[in-house]
Amino acid sequence: MATLSFPRPQAATLAGEPRQERLRDRFGRAITDLRLSVTDRCNYRCVYCRTGEEGAIYSELATEDYLRMARILISLGIEKIRLTGGEPLLRSGLVEMVRELAELRTAFLPDGTPTATGQPVDLALTTNGHLLDLLAEPLKRAGLGRVTVSMDAVEPETFAAITRVPKSFERVLSGVRKAAEVGLGPVKINCVLLRGFNDHQIEAFAEFSRRESVIVRFIEFMPLEEDRSWRPDTVVRMEELIDRLNAFRPLVELPPHAASETARRYTFDDGLGEIGVIAPVSRPFCGHCSRIRITSDGKLRTCLFSQSDYDLYGRMLRGGTDEELRAYIREIVFQKEERHHIGEPGFEKPSRNMVHIGG
Ligand code: SAM
């Protein structure tokens, strides 16, 4: 008996595009996480990050350019977008951008199967918190999921000495509380520890986590600063940090949420407070890296420590179609670096510093 066969309809993904393979590099790592820098302006001059304003040239793209890049990357398997900068809350039109991003849906199921219905993209933002009290609520209403606030001290003098901005500490504190109140939690606090600047704050941060019900994450200082002042002995390494915290109160390790999670998670023996330790210098996590970055001027970067970046925006300007841009992204991502080489002989600092990459 003759069988009838019909051509299988070309299933459409979310944006009506043909189905894609999930983005992977040559080591088989699935790339699911995008850091999107929406400005390289910043209202702080943190001692470990920026030198100053003089002669600074800034670059931002139009909102629709970032949105197009995000849509294309989501069609390739990006599931999480973290908005960053510079300081993203300085970006005009941010709330509107968040609203549009929050409407995008992932193109793959967790097992990697393409889907036409997808989950909402996991949308987060990293901020210094100076404007958060004002913007937390509108951002939440626009669809933002979570915030991470960078805060390198929990008392005003050290805070001002590091950020080189007076009287911001109280604003950041009320921003953190506002974010928790409107549901942008659990709020994470990122603290870069610098020996001689804020390492006396470790125990105070532990108390802060317990008192404010926020997750405090300590980050090892990386050689990404503008003034090239990084030295190995400025880094407060994970081992030393864990000893200090254990002496404050015994730590209990918590299971990771995902293999690609950058932080080791701990609570204390009474279950109060949560501490994350991000140790890119002493315990690199490159083997599970799922991240790529887009700089505020539209360059694609495959590693914080890349020596080059790739001009995705240039391709868009020259009229690249979505399909051409996808092919370009695949080609670049395939060559993602295996790992960084911090602390090894011959280590070269990356072609850009943190504020111009997007942390
Ligand atoms: N302005 C936002 C903020 O303050 O969170 C986003 C951009 S900032 C560059 C992102 C994160 O990078 C912050 O948590 C900051 O502390 C961290 N960072 C900057 N320079 C760093 C360095 N050299 N080593 C480790 N972390 C760094």
Cβ(359) – ligand 1 distance below 6 Å: yes
Q: What is the 352 CA–ligand 1 centroid distance (Å)?
A: 13
In this predicted structure, the answer to whether residue 1 has a pLDDT above a threshold of 60 is: no
Distances (CA, A) of 121 to 18, 58, 79, 183, 206: 19, 28, 5, 17, 31
Residue 1 lies in a domain: no
Note down the domain range covering 269: 18-357
Amino acid 17: pLDDT = 58
pLDDT band at 8 (very low <50, low <70, confident <90, very high): very low
Residue 200 lies in a domain: yes
- DSSP characters for 28-91? --B--EEEEE-----S---TTT---STT-------HHHHHHHHHHHHHTT--EEEEESS-GGGS
Identify residue 44 by its one-letter amino acid code: Y
Closest CA to 82 of 175, 146, 25, 140: 146
Mean pLDDT to the nearest integer, 290-319: 95
In this predicted structure, the answer to whether residue 270 has a pLDDT above a threshold of 70 is: yes
Residue 13 lies in a domain: no
Domain count, the chain: 1
Residue 12 lies in a domain: no
Residue 4 lies in a domain: no
Query: Measuring from atom 15 of ligand 1, which residue has the nearest CA?
Result: 150
Amino acid 215: pLDDT = 98
Share of the chain above pLDDT 90, in %: 73
Query: Measuring from atom 12 of ligand 1, which residue has the nearest CA?
Result: 359
Assigned token pair, 186: 């659990």
Identify residue 58 by its one-letter amino acid code: Y
Amino acid 13: pLDDT = 47
Q: What is the 225 CA–ligand 1 centroid distance (Å)?
A: 9
Q: What is the 351 CA–ligand 1 centroid distance (Å)?
A: 17
CATH code for the domain in which residue 98 is found:
3.20.20.70
Mean pLDDT to the nearest integer, 105-126: 87
pTM for the predicted model, two decimal places: 0.93
Q: What is the pLDDT of residues 22-77, one digit of tens each?
A: 899 999 999 999 999 999 999 999 988 887 666 677 889 999 999 999 999 999 99
Residue 6 lies in a domain: no
Lowest mean pLDDT of 113-117, 158-162, 309-313, name the range.
113-117
Pocket test of ligand 1: the residue of 42, 190, 353 to mutate, having most ligand atoms within 8 Å of its CB, is: 190
Residue 265 lies in a domain: yes
Residue 11 lies in a domain: no
Cβ(192) – ligand 1 distance below 6 Å: yes
Mean pLDDT to the nearest integer, 88-97: 97
